[in-house]
Amino acid sequence: MIKKAFSVTFLVISIFSLLFVTLILMLNFVSLVSPQPNPHYNPYPNEYAPHIHRVVNTKKPVRIIARALSTVDFTKAVDHSAVMNETTGHFQLTIKNIDNMSSNLQIMLYNPLTGQSGFEHSIDLCEHISVKVKIGGLIYTIYRIVDGEQQYFSTQGIKIRPNQTINVTVFITLHKTVPGDIRDNLHYDCYLYLFQLEAGYVDIVKFIVDT
């Protein structure tokens, strides 16, 4: 009788142990396949498009060619290290998919993989500008200053199909400043980031602003 009771107890313990091990394995599997949060994503809220809370890495990045087609010239707006009147300039950005796969792109001035700003080398400039992009009939604010705080945003996902070219207009507004806030006759290298969310991949496009 005692032997039989011991056997039953051993069987019950074995079953519970097996269930426990199975549960642990399932939790580990879910952890492996679930998208992991991106610790470098800029935490500012985006009122125009969903947050990029994580880098998914579920597919290969598509090959694209992207380039800015002109320089934004503010040399007439900046005089004696000041901007007397708010001025907006623009340039065209072309993005061509040269791959045989589609992708969703988001355009921003902040690299979500490294945390680097597109104005890394233009500190005095970025304190006095705002940036919008126009894609089709939609306009997105992707950068602005509010109460001295830099705020970065992204566009919504832009579907780009094989061999498709997308034309984007980038508007840069230089706001009024007091003398000494911005320097004359400077050439600023700035950077846009084209983020493929599913691939966790960024293409970098340089554009130029002259003051």
The answer on pLDDT for 13 being more than 70 is no
- Residue ranges with strand state E in 84-164: 87-97, 103-108, 129-135, 138-146, 149-152, 158-160
Which of 81 and 36 is assigned the larger pLDDT? 81
Q: Is the pLDDT of residue 50 over 70?
A: no
Give the residues across from 174 on adjacent strands.
Answer: 87, 129
Which pTM does this prediction carry? 0.72
- Neighbour tally for 120: CB within 10 Å: 12
Range in 20-24, 93-97, 183-187 the model is least confident about: 20-24
Q: Domain 54-210 belongs to what topology?
A: Immunoglobulin-like (2.60.40)
14-25 pLDDT per residue, tens: 665 665 555 544
Task: Answer for the pair 183, 135: CB distance below 8 angstroms, yes or no.
Answer: no
pLDDT single digits (tens) 127-171 = 889 999 999 999 999 999 888 888 999 999 999 999 999 999 999
